[in-house]
Amino acid sequence: SRMEDSIKKTLADNPVVIYSKSWCSYSMEVKALFKRIGVQPHVIELDHLGAQGPQLQKVLERLTGQSTVPNVFIGGKHIGGCTDTVKLYRKGELVTMLSEQDIN
Amino acid sequence: SRMEDSIKKTLADNPVVIYSKSWCSYSMEVKALFKRIGVQPHVIELDHLGAQGPQLQKVLERLTGQSTVPNVFIGGKHIGGCTDTVKLYRKGELVTMLSEQDIN
Ligand SMILES: N[C@@H](CCC(=O)N[C@@H](CS)C(=O)NCC(=O)O)C(=O)O
Ligand SMILES: N[C@@H](CCC(=O)N[C@@H](CS)C(=O)NCC(=O)O)C(=O)O
Ligand code: FES
């Protein structure tokens, strides 16, 4: 589908991608975490997309099995939500994954 | 206003009140915290109230200065959101406040 292609392009073009909702504290936490690490994620605010937001969220669920936000990808790979990302960070694995990416 | 009266009645009738959104992780966290302490809060899910939800959220903002969820009250007193409640818990003050309430 067109939306699926657009997601795949976004993931191919950006080392860190976060599908987020701007007023959601878990989304804010994961964005702040990347900022703290010094990484600038590509953020898509689903609540800023009108009717396309829920549609995109549905396609993401089909692609990843995850229906919730935030939905985090590194190097095109599905990482998970806020809790998953924080866990990886505390294990030291997040920074390792990021170092393997081509981040400007 | 009628909504303001209904809020005041809820706060008078219940020692612990949480205005919440059912799919919000911060709301889930604060509900889980009270459960862990062994307290059963009176929970109002704003997303279950149709058009009244946003209206209630606006009245709460007028009454408390807080526009966000979760919005927590103990003994009719405005406590704050998730972060504020967790802070009070870690300082030991939350359990003290709850012990001063008439909780069944
Ligand atoms: N453990 C997950 C929780 C994800 C979650 O429950 N997200 C909520 C918002 S905080 C959600 O997507 N709710 C449904 C929605 O907003 O459509 C994480 O850490 O990301
Ligand atoms: N620090 C506050 C954050 C509260 C907050 O930003 N809540 C968000 C949801 S997590 C909110 O109410 N957003 C606007 C809305 O849902 O109407 C807390 O700990 O409760
Ligand atoms: S909407 Fe409240 S934490 Fe996500």
Can you give the pLDDT at residue A103?
A: 76
Residues with CB under 6 A from ligand 1: A 21, 24, 26, 68-70, 81-83; B 23-25
Helices (H), A38-90: 52-64, 82-90
Task: Tell me the per-residue pLDDT of A10-30, one tens digit each, with 9 for 90 and over.
Answer: 999 999 999 999 999 999 999
Task: Tell me the per-residue pLDDT of A57-95, one tens digit each, with 9 for 90 and over.
Answer: 999 999 999 999 999 999 999 999 999 999 999 999 999
Cβ-Cβ contacts under 8 Å, A24 against chain B? 24-25
Task: Tell me the per-residue pLDDT of B12-62, one tens digit each, with 9 for 90 and over.
Answer: 999 999 999 999 999 999 999 999 999 999 999 999 999 999 999 999 999
Can you give the pLDDT at residue A102?
A: 79
Q: How far is the C-alpha of B41 from the C-alpha of A51, rounded, in Å?
A: 35
Per the structure block, which two tokens stand in for A35? 């900022």
* Cβ neighbour number for residue A13 with a 10 Å cutoff: 10
Q: What percent of chain A has pLDDT over 90?
A: 96
Q: For residue B15, how far is its CA from the centre of ligand 2 (angstroms)?
A: 22
Can you give the pLDDT at residue B104?
A: 57
CA nearest neighbour of B80 among B64, B96, B104: B64
pLDDT band for position B102 (cuts 50, 70, 90): confident
Can you give the pLDDT at residue A104?
A: 57
Q: Does A26 touch chain B if contact means CB atoms closer than 8 Å?
A: yes
Give the mean pLDDT of A40-54.
97
Helices (H), B38-104: 52-64, 82-90, 93-99
